[in-house]
Amino acid sequence: MFKLLKKTNTKERIALVFSVTFIVIQVWLELKIPDYLSEITTKLQIVETTVADIMGPGSIMVSLSLLSLVASIIVGFIAARVAASLTKRIRGEVFRSIMDYTPGEIKQFSVPSLITRTTNDITQIQLVIAIGLQVIIKGPITAIWAVTKIADKNWQWTTSTGVAVIVLLIMLSSILVFVRPKFIRIQTLTDKLNSITRETLQGTRVVRAYNAEGYQNNKFLGANEELTSVNLFTSRMLAILNPGMTIISGGLTLAVYWIGAHLIQSAGMPNKISLFSDMVVFSSYAMQVVLGFMLMTIVFIILPRALASANRINEVLDLKPSIDFVKESQFSSNEKGSIEFRNVTFSYPNAAEPVIQDVNFTAKAGETVAFIGSTGSGKSTAISLIPRFYDVSKGEILIDGNNIQSYSHEDLNNKIGYIPQNPFLFSGTIRSNMDFGKSGSIIENDTQIYSALALAEAEEFVLQKEDQLDSHVAQAGTNFSGGQKQRLSIARAIARKAEILIFDDSFSALDYKTDKKLRNNLSENMVDTTKLIVAQRISTIMDADQILVLDEGKVVGQGTHKELLESNQVYQEIAYSQLSKEELNNG
């Protein structure tokens, strides 16, 4: 929590100093009121006192109360502003940290947990600053100041106030013991609820098709009930606070008046009046003492949840991404578009066995290298090492003769156009998706976008849309078919004018005709661009300059379609299961 508070800037710190000043003013004003109450009660004992005599101190009391109200509004306003601006910055920092994470690091937290941490957890911090700040500062000041006011008055009254404070502390600490661990649990359960909601919404078609609404509903109900019962428990415990507080303050008032009654009864005449006045004043100060301690202890009730949230936020901020990019690329090279794998071996974090082993190949600028193999053979993993989603465990990958680790993040990404296995479009328009992110080439006009769309065989369906490039794209591109999404994501990569295009099974949703046309477009119009293609279909890759056949992470065949068809058993098996001998030989 302290770590997060240290992120306040000078402006916020100055605002906090102001806020503390106004809290002190507020407490001073509140503690001044009983002085005038004392004056009124004293005057009331004198027969000659007129209404006009009471009006003076009475108006001052009203003014003090109003000023105290104004001070508390100012404090609330400042605290809310500081809370909002600080948490806005923290939210931004958390988001930026997440953006630097590798897929493995995102998995380590889980997506729903990262969403809760960026939203709900930060809201807890905002609450504790906005509300807690006043309580944290006001509590001790009020309690200590009020104690100094009553300490020398009367030992019986002081003792009764002491007893009330002890009872209050016992009540609050008992509540705290039960409630504290539950607050930590609430955040974890919120993660769980988010996770189930997200999974159900993402898989809604499968859920419906399999009549699994009941099953998912039960999962959700279970998590919801658990969260509700923990929330109810904490709310019930905290609900004891208010009546408990009323009983304690009521009991204290009763005790002060009961003791006062005895004292007044046994006192002589002039003392009776001053004792009565003291009693009224004392009970006001005693209430302030109780309130002060109450405020102090509330801190311990609102703080645990905020502390749990602060820890969760710090975990995200403290995790250093395992992939460390150099700030400036450290090489000079005239080559453009060559790529080489040298004895590349890779194991996923925490996995015993490597997923790919000793992969070697060289692709010169403009060449096409394809990867084929059974599912799970490591094809996607191999090419995901190029944009450094993960770093190689052994060996090295070179682009234009330089190890990819010597490239800055931006320079490496500018060399590559990556088309993922599951095409992902962002909410916006077709244009905003085509002109997405920063790349080496800047899209200056629609003609550039249309030429990329044409190469990706996507121009026709975009032109058919009423709004063409301004057509709406829903989140994750759900208003486009699988094939359309694939073509748009290919066009997006082509528009970057990258030297190396990486297609991770990016033709799978295309019909054979479109697949062929698209590949022809690429080979005819992107002669200088190096293409790495992962595919399941032989027809997609048979024209490649080099094909790597992967099996359980090892390269079991390497060559052209013709060479592999003649000599490689694994390739033959895949090939003959898909196409006839004539089709294969004419390819």
Ligand X SMILES: Nc1ncnc2c1ncn2[C@@H]1O[C@H](COP(=O)(O)OP(=O)(O)OP(=O)(O)O)[C@@H](O)[C@H]1O
Q: Which of 380, 479, 514, 523 binds ligand X (CB under 6 A)?
A: 380
Residue 388 in the binding site for ligand X (CB under 6 A) = no
Residue closer to ligand X by CB (options 40, 355) is: 355
Residue 566: burial class (beta carbons within 10 Å; 0-12, 13-18, 19+): exposed
Q: Which of 332, 375, 445, 464 binds ligand X (CB under 6 A)?
A: 375
Spatial CA neighbour of 298 closest among 458, 133, 167, 424: 133
Spatial CA neighbour of 298 closest among 233, 227, 231, 242: 242
- What is the Cα–Cα distance from 507 to 518, expressed in whole angstroms? 9
Residue 243 in the binding site for ligand X (CB under 6 A) = no
| Shortest distance (Å) from residue 548 CB to ligand X | 11
| Shortest distance (Å) from residue 125 CB to ligand X | 32
| Shortest distance (Å) from residue 340 CB to ligand X | 20
The identity of residue 264, as a single letter, is I
Length of the chain: 587
Which region, judged by CB under 6 A, interacts with ligand X, from 1-9, 168-176, 204-212, 374-382?
374-382
Enumerate the β-bridge partners of residue 398. 340, 403
Residue closer to ligand X by CB (options 378, 423) is: 378
- Strand, coil or helix: what is 330? coil
Residue 317: burial class (beta carbons within 10 Å; 0-12, 13-18, 19+): middle
DSSP assignment of 374-418: STTSSHHHHHHTTTTSS--SEEEEEETTEEGGGSBHHHHHHHEEE
- What is the Cα–Cα distance from 513 to 515, expressed in whole angstroms? 5
Residue closer to ligand X by CB (options 274, 536) is: 536
| Shortest distance (Å) from residue 420 CB to ligand X | 11
Residue 110 in the binding site for ligand X (CB under 6 A) = no
Which region, judged by CB under 6 A, interacts with ligand X, from 76-84, 163-171, 209-217, 370-378?
370-378
Residue 334 in the binding site for ligand X (CB under 6 A) = no
| Shortest distance (Å) from residue 421 CB to ligand X | 6
Which region, judged by CB under 6 A, interacts with ligand X, from 216-224, 379-387, 423-431, 456-464?
379-387
Pairing between β-strand 472-473 and β-strand 428-429 as defined by DSSP bridges: antiparallel
Pairing between β-strand 428-429 and β-strand 356-363 as defined by DSSP bridges: unpaired
| Shortest distance (Å) from residue 553 CB to ligand X | 7
C-alpha R_g of the chain: 36
Which region, judged by CB under 6 A, interacts with ligand X, from 173-181, 223-231, 245-253, 372-380?
372-380
Stretch 492-511: interaction string toward ligand X, x if CB under 6 A: -------------x------
Q: Which of 118, 377, 540, 558 binds ligand X (CB under 6 A)?
A: 377
| Shortest distance (Å) from residue 17 CB to ligand X | 49
DSSP state of 319: P
Residue 376 in the binding site for ligand X (CB under 6 A) = yes
| Shortest distance (Å) from residue 412 CB to ligand X | 20
DSSP state of 366: T
Output b/e per residue, 384-401; b: 16+ Cβ within 10 A. bbbbbbbebbebebbbbe
| Shortest distance (Å) from residue 423 CB to ligand X | 14
Residue closer to ligand X by CB (options 284, 377) is: 377
Residue 332 in the binding site for ligand X (CB under 6 A) = no
Residue closer to ligand X by CB (options 191, 505) is: 505
| Shortest distance (Å) from residue 345 CB to ligand X | 13
Output b/e per residue, 55-65; b: 16+ Cβ within 10 A. eebeeebeebe
Please state the φ and ψ torsions of residue 47, each to the nearest 5 degrees. -65, -35
- Looking only at residues 343 through 362 of this chain, which bind ligand X when binding is defined by CB under 6 A? 348, 351, 355
The identity of residue 90, as a single letter, is I
Residue closer to ligand X by CB (options 194, 357) is: 357
Residue 540 in the binding site for ligand X (CB under 6 A) = no
Stretch 27-46: interaction string toward ligand X, x if CB under 6 A: --------------------
Find where tokens 């990019």 sit: 325
Which region, judged by CB under 6 A, interacts with ligand X, from 209-217, 373-381, 510-518, 561-569?
373-381
Torsional class of 551: left (φ above 0), alpha (ψ -120 to 50), beta (otherwise)? beta
- Looking only at residues 182 through 241 of this chain, which bind ligand X when binding is defined by CB under 6 A? none
Enumerate the β-bridge partners of residue 429. 472
The vertex-474 CA angle with 498 and 500, nearest 5°, equals 10
Q: Which of 378, 417, 423, 477 binds ligand X (CB under 6 A)?
A: 378
Do residues 32 and 284 make contact, with C-beta atoms less than 8 angstroms apart?
A: no
| Shortest distance (Å) from residue 197 CB to ligand X | 23
| Shortest distance (Å) from residue 351 CB to ligand X | 6
The vertex-422 CA angle with 416 and 424, nearest 5°, equals 75
Spatial CA neighbour of 356 closest among 551, 553, 557: 553
Residue 519 in the binding site for ligand X (CB under 6 A) = no
Residue closer to ligand X by CB (options 204, 422) is: 422
Residues in the interface with ligand X (CB under 6 A) total 12
Q: Which of 138, 192, 312, 379 binds ligand X (CB under 6 A)?
A: 379
Stretch 158-177: interaction string toward ligand X, x if CB under 6 A: --------------------
- What is the Cα–Cα distance from 44 to 280, expressed in whole angstroms? 12
- Looking only at residues 553 through 582 of this chain, which bind ligand X when binding is defined by CB under 6 A? none
- Where does this chain bind ligand X (CB under 6 A)? 348, 351, 355, 373, 375-381, 505
